[in-house]
Amino acid sequence: MTHVPITNTPKTATIDDAQLVSRTLACAFDDDPMMRWFFPDDSAREAALGRYFTTLFTRQYAQHGVCERTDAAVAFWVPPEGQEKAVPDAETVQELQNILGDRALLFRDAVTTVAEHTPTEPHWYLALIGADPAAQGQGHGAALLRSGLAKADAAGLPAYLEPSKPSNLPFYEHFGFTVHKELQLPGGGPVLWAMRREPGPSAGV
| pLDDT tens, position by position, 120-163 | 999 999 999 999 999 988 999 999 999 999 999 999 999 999 99
pLDDT of the residue at 83: 84
Count of Cβ atoms closer than 10 Å to residue 135 Cβ: 19
pLDDT confidence band for 202 (50 / 70 / 90):
very low
Q: Measured on CA atoms in the order 28, 12, 159, 150, is the torsion positive or negative? A: positive
Spell out the domains of the chain, with CATH numbers in brackets. 11-157 (3.40.630.30)
DSSP codes joined into one string, 5-26: PPP---EE--GGGHHHHHHHHH
Mean residue pLDDT across the chain:
92
Is the predicted pLDDT of residue 2 greater than 80, yes or no? no
Report the pLDDT value the prediction gives residue 5, as an integer from 0 to 100.
Answer: 61
With 70 as the cut, is the pLDDT of residue 36 above it?
Answer: yes
Q: For 175-200, write each residue's pLDDT tens digit.
A: 999 999 999 999 999 999 999 999 98
Which CA distances in Å does 158 have to 7, 126, 127, 141, 154? 28, 11, 14, 19, 10
CB count, 10 Å around CB of 48?
18
49 Cβ contact list (under 8 Å, min separation 6) = 22, 25, 26, 29, 30, 35, 39
Residues found in the chain: 205
Q: Which amino acid is at 126?
A: L
Instruction: Give residue 201's pLDDT band: very low, low, confident or very high (50, 70, 90).
Output: low
Question: Rounded to two decimals, what is the model's pTM?
Answer: 0.92
Task: Tell me the C-alpha distance between 83 and 125, whole Å.
Answer: 8
In angstroms, the Cα distances linking 76 to 3, 5, 98, 128, 195 are 29, 24, 23, 5, 16
* Percent of the chain with pLDDT strictly greater than 90: 82
Q: Are 149 and 203 in contact (CB under 8 A)?
A: yes
Distance CA 77, CA 127 (A): 6
pLDDT of residue 155: 95
The model's confidence at residue 205, banded by pLDDT at 50, 70 and 90, is very low
